[in-house]
Amino acid sequence: MSSKCKTHENEIILNNIFHIRNMCFFTNSVFFVRLQQLYSILYKFYMTKIQLNSKSIARIAAIQTIYQLGNSQNDSDVETLLLRIIDFYKDKDVKNDHEIHRDTNMKLKPSYSFLKELVHYSYENIGEINEIITSYLIDDWTLKSLPKLLLATLQVSICEIIYFPDTPRNVIINEYTDIANDMLDLGEVGFVNSVLDNYSTARLSK
């Protein structure tokens, strides 16, 4: 498991998620992603699924939020950041800012209630979640040595397994494996799938 070019490139994408037509939401932040690049990731989901549902988009947005919170030293940033992300998806001009799939009628509308719950449960229980992730690390790997995007993906996905029991485990595993496949290195995708499968199986056996 290593941090390679694909992971690095996608961390750059997530670090610039609020960049809309070269304008920034925050004047004192380094958290900006080009809108076109975000659409490129989401378009892959659109092309591989009959319908890109609101929960799929919410999961991506939750990873985006937790990832960026991991780069912040201010606990109060969670509400501000979450509101900014919601505003981003509600922006009336968003649908006019993409070019690669103008004829697909693709809509970026996450389940806002699900997004808020997923972010809050992940953030408020990050200690417990990190302990679970640590239990699956081998050799000299630590949370600090994990690529931040990989860590955020694991944090949100494990949160959903724990705190959203009504969602079938295979749905959670498949969703986050698909997301990881478009954002992480191949070895990291396998690691995400393995951790989620093993952890969800262990929970069922209790």
In whole angstroms, give the CA distance from residue 70 to residue 58: 18
Could you give the number of structural domains in the chain?
1
The three-state DSSP-derived secondary structure of 1-46 is CCCCHHHHHHHHHHHEEEEECCECCCCCCCCEEEHHHHHHHHHHHH
Q: Which domain holds residue 185?
A: 49-99+107-205
| Cα 60–Cα 128–Cα 119 angle in degrees, nearest 5 | 30
Q: Residues in the chain, how many?
A: 206
Contact at 8 Å (CB) between 35 and 27? no
Give the model's pLDDT for residue 52.
64
Q: What is the DSSP letter of 7?
A: H
pLDDT tens-place values along the chain, 206 residues long: 555 565 555 554 444 433 332 333 333 333 334 344 455 555 555 555 545 688 988 999 999 899 988 877 665 578 888 888 888 777 645 444 444 344 444 556 789 999 999 999 999 999 999 999 999 998 889 999 999 999 999 999 999 999 999 999 999 999 999 999 888 888 999 999 999 999 999 998 87
Give the model's pLDDT for residue 45.
58
41 in a structural domain: no
159 in a structural domain: yes
32 in a structural domain: no
Helix, strand, coil shares of the chain as percentages rounded to 5?
A: 65, 5, 35
194 in a structural domain: yes
Cβ atoms within 10 Å of 26's Cβ, excluding its own = 12
Cβ atoms within 10 Å of 20's Cβ, excluding its own = 19
Give the model's pLDDT for residue 48.
54
17 in a structural domain: no
140 in a structural domain: yes
Q: What is the DSSP letter of 146?
A: S
What CATH number is associated with residue 156? 1.10.940.10
126 in a structural domain: yes
Give the model's pLDDT for residue 135.
96
78 in a structural domain: yes
Taking the CA atoms of 196, 199, 201 and 203 in sequence, report the sign of the dihedral they define: negative
